[in-house]
């Protein structure tokens, strides 16, 4: 894998240096070099924090910005941030109204967030959490607390960030973000794996000519390995996993988010979205707002994810709120 890097051990620090320089209008550094915070956080608002491993751009730091997250904790490639980084993110985001920590269901993140929440409490900062679990393929519905968080996290941040920006108190922000993720389902299809920079070869396999339905961002096993299908067939597989699980039904209005996994050309995401939108239309499901692009990736992994979120009036208003970050700019 030909990479643009120096010492692989320094890639996260160097990436952060470049990120902070490139987006100095939106974000700034903190004393903890693994914490990025938004510039000009309005006073008296609830703080919104996220965090996760690196290599998933725009996630996670790409969603720090106006009306989105106020701070993010940064981990090594595909590894959770430390508890200290989460704690310092809480401190960076806290405006005296408490902090909503909106993150994904991975064991390392769970452990470190829990420790950080306890430490924050001792320091007088109230932190409440929402744990994203939108990945349908990662566990049966009856065990949805075991499901991973994937690209649905972007919608959780959008909703939670907008609720905080509109003056919601901590419980209201948490309730809105929880509703966002409760109304959200995702599935991914992997076409080619990615390589950890310090390792130099993929740590999971997708055999050429095959694809894996339901695969996670780190190669976590999916629900089916089959021969590579065409876009129409892939779209049908995704819709057939996501739609019945919630279930989304005729008359529903949804956000549809199609994200590339990294190296799949954006052109192909539009081909996929065209198929998905047709299938949803056939079912009477109306896409109120589409997002198509690279929203939550895994380095140079190939493939795509589909995320649907059922909307109500509150979620529509929060999804429509303007936002400005590296990963999401919306007027």
Rule CB under 8 A: which residues touch a second copy? 2-6, 11, 14-19, 21-22, 54-55, 57-58, 191-192, 208-209, 211, 228, 230-232, 234, 262-275, 277, 287, 290-294, 297, 299-300, 302-304, 324, 326, 329-331
Q: Which of 56, 201, 217, 286 is catalytic?
A: 56
How far apart are alpha carbons 163 and 154 in whole angstroms?
14
Question: Least distance to a second copy from the beta carbon of 226, Å?
Answer: 12
Question: Least distance to a second copy from the beta carbon of 317, Å?
Answer: 17
Q: Cβ closer to a second copy: 144 or 228?
A: 228
Question: Least distance to a second copy from the beta carbon of 152, Å?
Answer: 18
Question: Least distance to a second copy from the beta carbon of 274, Å?
Answer: 4
How far apart are alpha carbons 167 and 188 in whole angstroms?
34
How far lies 235's CA from each of 219, 285, 331, in Å? 20, 15, 29
Q: Cβ closer to a second copy: 42 or 270?
A: 270
Closest C-alpha among 57, 52, 30 to residue 41: 30
Q: Cβ closer to a second copy: 122 or 227?
A: 227
* Degrees to nearest 5, angle at CA 6 with 85 and 15: 35
Structure tokens at 179: 């509703």
Q: Cβ closer to a second copy: 170 or 231?
A: 231
The alpha carbon of 242 is separated from its chain's Cα centroid by a whole number of angstroms, namely 17
Question: Least distance to a second copy from the beta carbon of 304, Å?
Answer: 6
- The answer to whether residue 56 is catalytic is yes
Instruction: Report whether 321 contacts 166 (CB < 8 A).
Output: yes
Q: Cβ closer to a second copy: 84 or 287?
A: 287
DSSP string, 150-175: -THHHHHHHHHHHHHHTT--HHHHHH
Question: Least distance to a second copy from the beta carbon of 218, Å?
Answer: 15
- The answer to whether residue 218 is catalytic is yes
How far apart are alpha carbons 265 and 212 in whole angstroms?
18
How far apart are alpha carbons 248 and 237 in whole angstroms?
15
Q: Cβ closer to a second copy: 133 or 297?
A: 297
Instruction: Report whether 291 contacts 257 (CB < 8 A).
Output: yes
Closest C-alpha among 128, 133, 161, 162 to residue 147: 133
- The residues that are catalytic are 56, 218
């Amino acid at each position: 894998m030909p990479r643009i890097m120096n010492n692989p051990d320094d890639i996260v620090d160097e990436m952060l240096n470049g990120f902070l320089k490139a987006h100095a209008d939106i974000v700034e550094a903190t004393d903890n070099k693994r914490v990025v915070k938004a510039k000009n956080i309005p006073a008296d608002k609830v703080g919104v924090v996220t965090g996760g491993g690196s290599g998933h751009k725009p996630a996670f730091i790409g969603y720090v910005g106006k009306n989105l997250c106020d701070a993010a904790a940064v981990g090594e490639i595909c590894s959770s941030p430390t508890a200290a980084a989460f704690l310092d993110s809480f401190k960076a985001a806290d405006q005296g109204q408490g902090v909503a920590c909106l993150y994904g269901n991975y064991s390392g993140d769970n452990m470190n967030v829990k420790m950080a929440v306890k430490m924050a409490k001792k320091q007088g900062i109230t932190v409440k959490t929402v744990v994203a679990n939108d990945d349908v393929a990662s566990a049966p519905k009856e065990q949805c607390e075991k499901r991973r968080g994937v690209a649905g996290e972007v919608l959780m941040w959008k909703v939670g960030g907008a609720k905080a920006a509109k003056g919601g108190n901590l419980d209201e922000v948490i309730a809105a973000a929880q509703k966002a993720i409760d109304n959200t389902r995702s599935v991914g299809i992997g076409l080619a794996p990615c390589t950890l920079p310090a390792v130099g070869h993929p740590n999971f396999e997708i055999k050429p000519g095959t694809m894996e339905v339901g695969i996670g961002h780190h190669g976590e096993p999916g629900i089916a390995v089959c021969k590579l299908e065409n876009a129409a067939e892939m779209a049908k597989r995704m819709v057939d996993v996501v739609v019945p699980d919630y279930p989304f039904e005729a008359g529903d209005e949804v956000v549809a988010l199609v994200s590339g996994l990294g190296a799949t050309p954006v052109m192909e995401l539009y081909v996929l979205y065209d198929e998905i939108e047709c299938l949803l239309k056939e079912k009477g499901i109306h896409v109120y707002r589409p997002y198509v692009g690279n929203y939550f990736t895994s380095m140079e992994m190939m493939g795509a994810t589909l995320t649907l979120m059922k909307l109500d009036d509150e979620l529509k208003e929060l999804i429509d709120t303007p936002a400005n970050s590296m990963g999401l700019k919306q007027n």
